[in-house]
């Protein structure tokens, strides 16, 4: 049905309103909303890494399932020391929870009111998740969308699609855990595959995974974050690992959307 759209169109922002209306009228439609952050990722990755990755995964999935991709949320909820190094670090430019909840509520609500049947919020920044969830819940409440409605919203973080086989292939026995995968092997490998011109591996710093307390302390004790800003080192990253991760995640996520949404 994507012949209703300009050839190869996958981004909502690049489609005209008249063809969009036709497309929406032609069947149950899905729009994917990628979410990221503007957040320091050490000396070797750009601030926009989280949104770049969720946006690229969203575009590849959309191509497979015939969906459109909304503009990425390029700011996210505050980076936390135990998952992103902390909000005190230069370059990290964050939203308060109320702002992210409101943004999500407004965008998801607007898409549903225009006739989008399924919205998929594809998260790429660890700290966003519960606030995206809240924004979606409020949008559904605003729109009176209940369980017997055929409209729905899915929410996911892309790393939850990385399979055990991919983990084994990329990390062997050294997987440090998703919370400390900040500026580490996953993001660096994906960036090497997708945006190699924006990775500066010669500037990467070698260090063991961060060992942080079980509690959160506020204000943070800044020097508990490794000086690199990364919570694990990118040592062992490669474009080949990135390709494997990207293709596996896109394939499994696309299959899930087809199974769940038809
Ligand atoms: Zn990140
Ligand atoms: Mn992040």
Q: What mean pLDDT is predicted for residues 62-67?
A: 97
Q: Which residue has the higher pLDDT, 157 or 2?
A: 157
* pLDDT-above-70 percentage for the chain: 99
Q: Can 41 be counted among the known catalytic residues?
A: yes
Phi first, then psi: give them for residue 102, nearest 5 degrees.
-65, -40
How far apart CA 248 and CA 82 sit, in angstroms, is 27
Q: How many residues are there in the chain?
A: 262
Distance 114 CA to ligand 1 centre (A): 32
Q: Do the domain assignments include residue 223?
A: yes
Distance 256 CA to ligand 1 centre (A): 24
Catalytic position from the list 39, 87, 118, 181? 39
Catalytic position from the list 118, 125, 193, 241? 125
Q: What mean pLDDT is predicted for residues 180-196?
A: 97
pLDDT of residue 179: 82
Distance 20 CA to ligand 2 centre (A): 32
Q: What mean pLDDT is predicted for residues 185-201?
A: 98
123: three-class secondary structure by DSSP: strand
252: three-class secondary structure by DSSP: helix
Q: Do the domain assignments include residue 132?
A: yes
Distance 144 CA to ligand 2 centre (A): 32
> 35: which strand partners?
73, 123
Q: Do the domain assignments include residue 7?
A: no
Q: Do the domain assignments include residue 3?
A: no
> 153: which strand partners?
119
pLDDT tops 70 at residue 1: no
Tokens for 168, please give them.
Answer: 């084994």
Q: Do the domain assignments include residue 184?
A: yes
Q: Can 39 be counted among the known catalytic residues?
A: yes
Give per-residue pLDDT as tens, 13-34.
Answer: 999 999 999 999 999 999 999 9
Q: What mean pLDDT is predicted for residues 118-130?
A: 98
Question: Which protein residues have a CB closer than 5 Å to ligand 1 (ion)?
Answer: 49-50
Q: CATH number for the domain including 177?
A: 3.40.50.10310
Taking the CA of 38 as reference, the closest ligand is 2
Catalytic position from the list 44, 127, 181, 193? 127
Structural domain count, the chain: 1
Distance 84 CA to ligand 2 centre (A): 6
Q: Do the domain assignments include residue 4?
A: no
pLDDT tops 50 at residue 177: yes
pLDDT of residue 3: 63
Mean pLDDT of the chain: 96
Taking the CA of 39 as reference, the closest ligand is 2
Give per-residue pLDDT as tens, 228-238.
Answer: 999 999 999 99
pLDDT tops 80 at residue 35: yes
Catalytic position from the list 44, 50, 181, 241? 50
Q: What mean pLDDT is predicted for residues 167-174?
A: 94
pLDDT of residue 130: 98
Taking phi over 0 as left and psi of -120 to 50 as alpha, with beta for the rest, 236 belongs to: left
Q: Does residue 128 contact residue 79 with C-beta atoms inside 8 Å?
A: no
Q: Do the domain assignments include residue 235?
A: yes
Catalytic position from the list 44, 118, 182, 241? 182
Q: Can 165 be counted among the known catalytic residues?
A: no
Q: Do the domain assignments include residue 5?
A: no
Least confident of 7-11, 42-46, 97-101: 7-11
Distance 150 CA to ligand 2 centre (A): 32
Q: Model confidence at 6, in pLDDT bands (50, 70, 90)?
A: confident
Q: What mean pLDDT is predicted for residues 37-65?
A: 98
Distance 113 CA to ligand 1 centre (A): 32
Distance 126 CA to ligand 2 centre (A): 5
Q: What mean pLDDT is predicted for residues 174-188?
A: 93
Range of the domain at 209: 12-261
């Amino acid at each position: 049905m994507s012949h209703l759209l300009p050839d190869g169109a996958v981004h909502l922002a690049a489609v005209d309103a008249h063809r969009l209306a036709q497309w929406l009228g032609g069947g149950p439609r899905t729009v994917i909303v990628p979410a990221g952050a503007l957040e320091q990722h050490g000396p070797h990755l750009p601030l926009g890494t989280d949104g770049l990755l969720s946006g690229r995964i969203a575009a590849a999935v959309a191509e497979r399932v015939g969906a459109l991709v909304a503009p990425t949320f390029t700011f996210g909820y505050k980076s936390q020391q135990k998952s992103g190094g902390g909000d005190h670090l230069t370059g990290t430019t964050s939203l308060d929870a109320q702002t992210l909840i409101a943004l999500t509520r407004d965008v998801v609500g607007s898409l549903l009111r225009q006739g989008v049947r399924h919205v998929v919020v594809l998260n790429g920044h660890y700290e966003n998740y519960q606030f995206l969830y809240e924004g979606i819940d409020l949008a559904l409440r605003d729109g009176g969308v209940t369980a017997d409605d055929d409209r729905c919203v899915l929410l996911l973080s892309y790393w939850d699609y990385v399979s055990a086989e991919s983990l084994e292939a990329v990390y062997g026995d050294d997987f440090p855990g998703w919370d400390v995968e900040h500026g580490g092997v996953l993001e660096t490998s994906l960036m090497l595959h997708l945006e190699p011109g924006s990775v500066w591996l010669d500037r990467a710093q070698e260090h063991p995974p961060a060992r942080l307390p079980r509690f959160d302390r506020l204000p943070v004790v800044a020097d508990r974050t490794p000086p690199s800003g990364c919570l694990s080192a990118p040592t062992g990253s490669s474009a080949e690992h990135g390709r494997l991760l990207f293709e596996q995640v896109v394939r499994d996520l696309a299959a899930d959307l087809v199974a769940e949404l038809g």
